[in-house]
Chains A and B, each alone.
Chain A
Amino acid sequence: MLARLARTVPALCRAVHTQQPASTAAALELIRSQPSHYIIANFVGRKYILTPRDVLTVPRLRDVKVGDVLTLDEIHELGSREYTLRGNPTISPSRVRVQATVVEHTKGKMEFIFKKKRRKGYQKTITHKQPYTRLRIGEIEIPIESSS
């Protein structure tokens, strides 16, 4: 019984200082107070966990030029070390702003696809280079809401 009590004490301590914040603004204030953040954002139909300064590689985006800055508008989750804000289904872009800069349009390594049908004299090699677009994620901005 003492062992069971000893196990519940840390859980109780944790419950005391992690109360649900009153409003979204309070939750964002808690997250903003911590040094590093991450987001889970939807980009070109896929979800990625992104932090500032990392490079995202997606299949080639044809309507975008090198140097263009894109704003991520489908952010599902914003988190820090101890707090997480989950959108329903997304967080409004007025609460969190993340931009990504197109760094380059490249191609991947050459792939060799070999096809053969045995005893039929049919074989061929297809060479293929998949084009990609690479984006650099900018800072995660959580603007301070000015009460109007």
Chain B
Amino acid sequence: MLRGTLRSFPANGHAAFLPQIRKLVFECCDRWPSSETTRNYLFTRLVGLARDNPHVEIVVRQRVHREPIVRGFYINNRDKVIPLNGLSLAEITQKVHLLLDSSGAKIKPLKRRTVESNTESVRGIWSGLHADRPDL
């Protein structure tokens, strides 16, 4: 048995669950009209969002003369950026919830990966030398 196979794999949610998102950064311009809805969101819904998600650090930054964005930082050191120009209030709320629900992992095809398991097979692997000899 190689020493490298004796490691343990992280299993978030097995014994304890750690939310994967750590910080949300809202960046918008104070003057440009493309940031109008984002500014409205920050004034009306941001405090409620912060209260509902105490595990997330929420930061508001100025992004002068640029389009508004929201950036989510995750525990695996990756970040997700979503531009918010042209979105309504409800759509901005939807994008923020998308960031809050995500784990930060790269988007990968999930259609065929129903059960992902590192556990060895419980009933053992069939061996022809230890089975009944077939009667033909």
Contacts and interface: CB of A to CB of B under 8 A. Distances in A.
Q: Tell me if chain B binds chain A.
A: yes
Interface string A46-78: 001111111111100000001101000000000
Nearest to B114: A57
A53 B111 contact: no
Q: Bin the interface of chain B by size.
A: 20 to 34
Contact of B116 (A11, A49, A57): A57
Nearest to A110: B107
Majority-rule SS of A interface residues: strand
Contacts of B9: 53
B117 A67 contact: no
A136 B13 contact: yes
A11 B119 CA distance: 30
A92 interface: no
A53 B118 contact: yes
B17 A67 contact: yes
B9 to A, nearest CB: 8
Interface in A89-148: 101-110, 129-130, 132, 134-139
Contacts, number: 104
Nearest to B112: A57
A137 B12 CA distance: 10
Given A53-B117, A66-B19, A105-B102, A79 B122 contact: yes
Contact of A53 (B11, B100, B123): B11
B109 interface: yes
Interface of A: 7, 10-11, 36-38, 48-58, 66-67, 69, 79-81, 101-110, 129-130, 132, 134-139
24 contacts: A7-B135, A38-B123, A51-B122, A53-B118, A54-B115, A54-B119, A57-B110, A57-B115, A79-B122, A80-B122, A103-B12, A103-B13, A104-B20, A104-B105, A106-B101, A106-B105, A106-B110, A108-B110, A130-B111, A134-B103, A136-B11, A136-B17, A138-B14, A139-B14
Interface of B: 9, 11-15, 17, 19-20, 100-103, 105, 107-111, 113-120, 122-124, 132-133, 135
